[in-house]
Structure 1
Amino acid sequence: MDTMRDRFAPVVSRLLDEDPRVAVVLAEIGKDAFAETMREHPDRVINVGIREQLLVGAGAGLALAGMRPVVHTFAAFLVERPFEQLKLDFGHQGLGCVLVSAGASFDWPAGGFTHMSPGDVALLDTLADWTVHVPGHPDEAETLLRHAVAAGNDKVYVRLSVQSNSRALPVDGARFLTVREGRAGVVIAVGPLLDQVLAATEGLDVTVLYATTVRPFDGRALRRAVGDAEAADVVIVEPYLAGTSTGAANDALADVPHRVLGLGVGRRELRRYGQIEEHLAAHGLDAGSLRERIGGFLGERARVRTP
């Protein structure tokens, strides 16, 4: 199966053909995938070199000229390094763009901590009016990329990963999907962690919601799921910084007595970089660890009742 990033250049290249407003801005990373498209659209595929602040500034300039810029590099260089430009060039000026990242939290462990970005969504969450898509499968990435580019002049972040669930679900760029229903609590699985969550909750009497669009946060779906359960206990399993969405869940349930457990990537830097699977295990995001953590939080009532 191809990866989400494998889909990125072909999908956006087709969008360049279809929509004269679309432009792509790169900072060396990913330029080879756009080599042919750059020849076909030399005025709308721009490589600024290893200059990430300029990457964002150039995207904002295109937006000021009425274009729909798609800005791409690793998450650490797209959100963290040029954060001031995102805040001012797009936020302060009220401009729209589509940021498309690669690398996720630890997709390239050999690159070291400089190429890891577990805090990207939490950092963007300090700014207003960003839509954040976290696809869990290449097919979903294609759908959400098209949603993002078509979203008028909105500010959209699409977080691509080499991690993937085994199958795609019909995502719509807005709502959480109910994947499993239960009565003892609600588990929200974000993006590529759905398979791990489904394995971890096998045999547990819980509702599993699948989230590929985390901002805006689908509080209505969470409230509905909690209303159908016997306990307002919520676990959020995210492929980035643990606790990133606990505030959003608390806000959605402000008038309901509830508990929220946020699981995700920890704050401690893991200096023995290893493999992706080792990072998942070290952060407690593999199925076995999740089973223990979710079961411990929800207690015995989460066990499926047998006749």
Structure 2
Amino acid sequence: MDTMRERFVSTMSRLLDEDPRLAVVLAVIGHESFREVERRHPHRVIDVGIREQLLVGAGGGIALTGMRPIVHTFASFLVERPFEQVKLDFGHQGVGGVLVSAGGSYDWPAGGFTHMSPGDVALLDTLDGWTVHVPGHPDEAEALLRLAAKGDDRVYVRLSAQTNVRALPVTGAGFLTVREGNHGAVVAVGPMLDNVLAATEGLDTTVLYAPTVRPFDGAALRRAVGDTGAAEAVIVEPYLAGTSTAAADEALADVPHRVLGLGVGRRELRKYGEMDEHLTAHGLDVRSLRARVSGFLTGVA
């Protein structure tokens, strides 16, 4: 199976052939993968060099001409470093575009903390009007990239080396019910689904799958937890723990409720390790999730 990033390259290469409105904007990273399509469309594959603020600013400028920029690099260089340009050159100017990140929270531990971005979605939450997709499989990534490329809005697609075994049908809106139960709900975001399903096996709780987290599907969460007693929800995200708890609280504001946000901790892990070791260190492995979910939800055993 190809990776999400490889699928990004193949999908965008085809879309550049199909849609003259699209342009891919890069900052060295990923340029080699687009060499072939660049020969066919030399003015629509743009490498600005290692200048991430310019990367996003150029994307905003391209959008002002009526084109649809697809801006790509590591999440830490796409959202964190040029955040002012994301805020002003897209949001303040009122133009749309697609930011496509790689690297996730800890996909390449050897790159160190400079190449990790567990706070990217939380940071985008400070801005208005961004749709955020977090696919859990390359097939889902392709579907969401195609959807994003066709639109005119502001979209962030968060690609990761972590994947689920199988893809689910994604539409770019709403959560999917993967398992039904009678005691609360666990929302698994993107590549967290397989571990959540394994961790909740045999527990009497509903599992929702969220490949799109913004807008947050509060209606689906509300239906899953029900209207009687104290509503309980656990949100398992592959980035900063608690990023979506405020959205869940808002969805459940008129009923007594408890929400537990699980994800990447704030403490910086200063050893490289491997990706699976980072998952375990943040309590996102199957064993840790089982203990944390069953310890929080009442009546699930």
Q: Does 1:83 align with 2:48?
A: no
1:225 maps to 224
State how many pairs are aligned: 301
Moved over 4 A (4+): 228-231
Which residue of structure 1 aligns with residue 272 of structure 2? 273
8 Å contact 1:186–1:234 — kept in the other structure?
yes
Aligned letter for 2:128?
A: A
Provide the secondary structure at the position in 1 that maps to 2:106.
coil
Report if aligned partners of 1:184, 1:230 keep a CA contact under 8 Å in 2.
no
* Equivalent residue number for residue 169 of structure 1: 168
Query: How do residues 1-307 of structure 1 correspond to structure 2 at under 5 angstroms?
Result: 1-151=1-151, 153-227=152-226, 231-299=230-298, 301-303=299-301
Cα contact 1:183–1:230 (8 A) shared by 2 = no
The 3 A distance-change label for structure 1 pair 194 and 229 is farther
Question: 2: distance between equivalents of 1:143 and 1:229?
Answer: 37
In the alignment, the residues of structure 2 paired with residue 144 and residue 230 of structure 1 have an alpha-carbon distance, to the nearest angstrom, of 37
Task: Output the CA distance in 1 between the equivalents of 2:150 and 2:261.
Answer: 32
Deviation for aligned residue 1:27: 0.2
Q: Counterparts of 1:228 and 1:213 in 2: how far apart (Å)?
A: 24
Provide Cα deviations, 1:168-196, integer angstroms capped at 9, x if missing partner.
00011001000000011100000001000
Q: In structure 2, what is the Cα distance between the partners aligned to 1:230 and 1:11?
A: 47
Deviations 1:221-272 (A, max 9, x none): 1111112776510000000000000000011111111100000000000001
8 Å contact 2:227–2:255 — kept in the other structure? no
Q: Which runs of 5+ in 2 are unaligned?
A: none
Query: How much is the aligned-residue C-alpha RMSD, in angstroms?
Result: 0.9
User: Sequence identity of aligned pairs in percent?
Assistant: 77
Deviation track 1:54-93 (CA, whole Å, cap 9, x = no partner) reads 0001101110000000000000000000000000000100
User: For the residues of structure 2 that align with 1:109 and 1:297, how far apart are their CA atoms?
Assistant: 30
Distance 1:177 1:211, change over 3 A: same
The 2-side partners of 1:286 and 1:127 are apart by 31
Uncovered stretches (5+) of structure 1, i.e. residues with no partner: none
Contact 2:25 2:70 in 1 (8 A): yes
Question: Does the residue aligned with 2:2 lie in a helix, a strand or coil?
Answer: coil
Is the contact between residue 4 and residue 141 of structure 1 (CA under 8 Å) also seen in structure 2? yes
